């Protein structure tokens, strides 16, 4: 009988992975499938592809229809209804508070966390002239772009990665901004014009990392997934998510957070802004890697002292109109 872990827990004959059906999501699911197959060669590991509400409503801003949680709900339902064992998510799409009965069992080592500029005409962000149409539906990206170059025209852009690139190629935009990790995972790295530093564009919380979610009562599955868990990445994203949670971060809030480790210390930088970039508060906090949530809360409190509550209140007023 196949076993796993220190407790020699018997493995099942089959593990079902729930995934969105987009090309990038399926790449991520197949990546997890491959790693599990290498670790447990005797187990049948299959992928259950699903369309989510976020995929079906690509013509509407996420901020208006409920946020990135719409990309995970159907997958979580499959877990709760026992149609799947584990769901694979881009961690930046996972809500700050999980549905009851679910847990993040593992966080896979982070890929490139940066944003990427893609443009057929301009080699650097600073080269874009005033009035240039830049495609993104991310309030986080838009606010940072406008804070640096207020003359840009930020226009909505949704869809999977190939769809966004096609819209750029058709001349709808002078440039678009995407996550570098997604382009690289799909073998489209050559489309990257420039990688934006984490100071130019603070990444989304969890950007570049993959999360494996399962039911909270599946201690056996948590043990099986342990070989895929990357503790340094998990500590960094825990700080980021704590920061976002403390500021009620969602698609309605232009907010970013990025943590990294150096010499056993965890450094977190983050920001919160008005959507048009006219107000932007940035800050950093540092602490022991063993206390990532505290570091996130410290940075959130720091930005609140500098006026983040006023920005958040104004955003709430806008969303209620």
Domains of the chain: 3-109+208-229 (3.40.190.10), 115-195 (3.40.190.10), 238-319 (3.30.160.40)
Positions marked active-site: 93
pLDDT tens digits, the chain, 321 residues: what are they? 345 554 566 888 899 999 999 999 999 999 999 999 999 999 999 999 998 765 554 555 444 444 455 779 899 999 999 999 999 999 999 999 899 999 999 999 999 999 999 999 999 999 999 999 999 989 999 999 999 999 999 999 989 999 999 999 999 999 999 999 999 999 999 999 999 999 999 999 999 999 999 999 999 999 999 999 999 999 999 999 999 999 975 557 899 999 999 998 999 999 999 999 999 999 999 999 999 999 999 999 999 999 999 999 888 765 554
pTM exceeding the 0.75 threshold for the entire prediction: yes
Query: Taken in order 75, 77, 78, 79, is the CA torsion positive or negative?
Result: positive
Listing DSSP states for 81-101 in one string gives TTS-SEEEEEGGGS-SSPPTT
CA distance 36 to 11: 12
Kindly give, in sequence order, each residue whose CB lies less than 8 Å from that of residue 23, ignoring residues fewer than 6 positions away.
Answer: 160, 161, 162, 186
Three-class DSSP category at 200? coil
Measure the CA angle with vertex 159, ends 154 and 164; round to 5°: 60
């Amino acid at each position: 009988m196949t076993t796993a872990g220190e407790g020699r827990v018997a493995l099942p004959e089959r593990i079902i992975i729930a995934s969105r059906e987009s090309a990038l999501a399926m790449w991520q699911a197949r990546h997890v499938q491959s790693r599990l197959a290498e670790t447990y060669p005797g187990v049948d590991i299959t992928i259950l592809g699903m369309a989510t509400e976020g995929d079906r409503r690509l013509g509407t801003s996420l901020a208006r229809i409920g946020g990135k949680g719409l990309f995970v709900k159907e997958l979580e339902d499959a877990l709760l209804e026992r149609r799947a064992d584990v769901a694979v998510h881009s961690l930046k799409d996972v809500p700050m508070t999980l549905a009851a009965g679910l847990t993040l069992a593992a966080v896979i080592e982070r890929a490139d966390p940066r944003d990427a500029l893609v443009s057929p005409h301009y080699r650097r962000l600073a080269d874009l002239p005033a009035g240039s149409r830049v495609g993104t539906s991310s309030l986080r990206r838009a606010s940072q772009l406008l804070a640096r170059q207020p003359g840009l025209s930020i226009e909505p852009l949704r869809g999977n990665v190939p769809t966004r690139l096609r819209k750029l190629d058709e001349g709808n935009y002078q440039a678009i901004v995407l996550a570098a990790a997604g382009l690289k995972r799909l073998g489209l790295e050559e489309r990257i014009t420039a990688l934006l530093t984490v100071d130019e564009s603070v990444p989304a919380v969890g950007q570049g990392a993959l999360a494996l979610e399962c039911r909270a009562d599946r201690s056996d599955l948590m043990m099986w997934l342990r070989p895929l868990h990357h503790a340094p990445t998990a500590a960094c994203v825990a700080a980021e998510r704590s920061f976002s949670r403390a500021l009620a971060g969602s698609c309605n809030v232009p907010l970013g957070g990025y943590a990294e480790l150096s010499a056993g210390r965890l450094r977190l930088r983050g920001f919160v802004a008005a959507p048009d970039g006219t107000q932007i508060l940035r800050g950093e906090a540092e602490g022991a890697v063993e206390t990532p949530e505290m570091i996130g809360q410290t940075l959130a409190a720091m930005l609140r002292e500098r006026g983040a509550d006023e920005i958040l209140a104004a955003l709430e007023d806008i969303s209620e109109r």
